[in-house]
Amino acid sequence: MIKIENIKKSFGDKEILKGISGVFERGKPNLIIGSSGTGKSVLLKCIVGLIAPDEGHIHYDEHELTNANRDTKTEIRRQIGMLFQGGALFDSKTVEQNVMFPLDVLTKMPKGEKLDRVNSALERVGLAGQNQKMPSEISGGMQKRVGIARAIVNDSNYLFCDEPNSGLDPQTSILIDDLILELTEESNITTVVVTHDMNSVMGIGEKIMFLYKGKKLWEGNKNNIMDSNVKEFDDFVFANKVMRKLKKG
């Protein structure tokens, strides 16, 4: 479980996050949604420690990140897996080298153990035996899977995905969402997904936080989306034609 309290962040005189609080639960995908430029990625970067918030607290289960000493911060970081927007694989490295990267950087594991971990992660994302392929030789969907394998190779307790479906067709997007859901439930990890894909919201939105201009305006799940009476949230959700039809019945 991750709990955030009153997170604020400005760049210069531009206030991007205006005091966001909430809980991301273990064992289910927690979605952060909202329009472009509303602060989703900045919030994600604050949570994982890539950006220091100006105010607020971030709790990773029993640990508090914001005031933690170096050892605790390192311990928390070791438990974090991140799927970056666009996949962000190293083009010059093989699939195996890409997935092994966090183990090379964060651990002193013997090579054989690292390889076992890599093979097990590749198997979990359905890419067993693809070790020697280069990123350019595999499809966009497979590249995302490699990114996910890299994010879970360290047995992460916390998985963060920034726009996991960007650049993918709707069918492949659903497969990636299903994979994220399956890994989250099977390993009982805390997963946070930033997205503006309504298909993901309706597919895996077990817990949803809606951001609007740096504030949390709505919270719920895919089953109570229709009951919202927050105008900005409705405008976001029902901008999608299919959703509008559903609302009209």
Ligand X SMILES: Nc1ncnc2c1ncn2[C@@H]1O[C@H](COP(=O)(O)OP(=O)(O)OP(=O)(O)O)[C@@H](O)[C@H]1O
Does residue 179 bind ligand X (CB under 6 A)? no
Does residue 37 bind ligand X (CB under 6 A)? yes
- Find the binder of ligand X among 196, 207, 210, 237 (CB under 6 A): 196
Residues 10-29 within binding reach of ligand X (CB under 6 A): 11, 16
CB of 46 to ligand X, least distance (A): 10
CB of 19 to ligand X, least distance (A): 15
Distance, CA of 22 to CA of 185 (rounded, Å): 21
Q: Return the number of the residue (38 or 190) whose C-beta is nearest ligand X.
A: 38
CB of 244 to ligand X, least distance (A): 21
Cβ neighbors of 106 (< 8 A, separation 6 or more) are: 77, 78, 154
Q: Return the number of the residue (38 or 157) whose C-beta is nearest ligand X.
A: 38
* Segment near ligand X (CB under 6 A); pick from 20-28, 36-44, 103-111, 125-133: 36-44
Q: Return the number of the residue (50 or 106) whose C-beta is nearest ligand X.
A: 50
Q: How many CA atoms lie within 13 A of 225 on its CB side?
A: 26
Does residue 200 bind ligand X (CB under 6 A)? no
For the chain, the straight-line distance linking the first and the last C-alpha, in angstroms and rounded, comes to: 36
Strand ranges in the chain using DSSP code E only, listed in sequence order:
2-11, 14-24, 29-33, 55-60, 63-64, 80-83, 158-162, 190-195, 207-212, 215-220
Q: Return the number of the residue (36 or 136) whose C-beta is nearest ligand X.
A: 36
CB of 212 to ligand X, least distance (A): 10
Q: Are 153 and 99 within 8 A, CB to CB?
A: yes
Measured torsion, CA atoms of residues 153, 66, 47, 34, in degrees rounded to the nearest 10 = 170
CB of 166 to ligand X, least distance (A): 9
Report phi then psi at 130, rounded to 5.
-90, 15
* Segment near ligand X (CB under 6 A); pick from 31-39, 92-100, 124-132, 220-228: 31-39
CB of 97 to ligand X, least distance (A): 28
Does residue 216 bind ligand X (CB under 6 A)? no
Distance, CA of 61 to CA of 21 (rounded, Å): 15
Dihedral-angle region of residue 137 (phi above 0 means left; psi in -120 to 50 means alpha; beta otherwise): alpha
Q: Are 60 and 158 within 8 A, CB to CB?
A: yes
* Segment near ligand X (CB under 6 A); pick from 35-43, 101-109, 131-139, 229-237: 35-43
List residues binding ligand X (CB under 6 A).
Answer: 11, 16, 34, 36-42, 196
